[in-house]
Amino acid sequence: MENQVYSGSSIVFMEAMDLSDVISYPIVDVIEGNPDAKIKVLRTKGARTGLMHVSVISAQPSKFHYKFKYDEAFQLIYGHLAILLDSGEQIEMKPGDILTVPAGHDSIFEIYEPSLKFVVVTCS
């Protein structure tokens, strides 16, 4: 089967590790390194929820500030990273780990190795 994203009224399919058609995802407040972040948006509206988007995002080793403007849930597919939340809690993530963060939190992401996460962003 050809690598494609299929989207209909309620179905989206992406073959594993298909990172074609990615676009740059600018990180504004970089502390060190070059995130060279990329995003592939899979869906931009929900059937019954205030969904903002579903996507996969990749990033290279770096450290940067990130503001959670909306509720966000993600699963790390590959890589290794840590997130320092404004609450003082530090979360280290490895492949398979899942994190949900409500809107409004400030954080610092530290990407230790090339990483890819599956992300769902919803309205508060």
Q: Is residue 8 part of a domain?
A: no
- Residue 38 is part of which domain span? 22-122
Q: Which band of pLDDT confidence, cut at 50, 70 and 90, is reported for residue 49?
A: low
Confidence of residue 4 (pLDDT cuts 50, 70, 90): very low
- Torsional sign, CA 73, 53, 49, 122: positive
Residue 76 belongs to domain with CATH number: 2.60.120.10
Is residue 83 predicted with pLDDT exceeding 70?
yes
Higher confidence at residue 122 or residue 101? 101
Please check whether residue 14 lies inside any domain of the structure: no
| Amino acid occupying residue 18 | D
Is 63 part of any domain? yes
Side-chain-side CA neighbours of residue 88 (13 Å) = 0
Indicate whether 81 pLDDT > 70: yes
Domain-located, residue 10: no
Which of 5-10's residues contact partners 24+ apart within 8 Å by CB, and which partners? 5/40, 5/42, 7/42, 7/43, 9/47, 10/47
Q: What is the pTM of this model?
A: 0.79
The closest of 54, 6, 25, 51 to 115, measured between CA atoms, is 25
Residue 69 covered by a domain: yes
If one counts the domains in the chain, the total is 1
Q: Is 51 a member of any domain?
A: yes
Is residue 73 over pLDDT 60?
yes
Provide the pLDDT confidence category of residue 74 given band limits of 50, 70 and 90.
very high
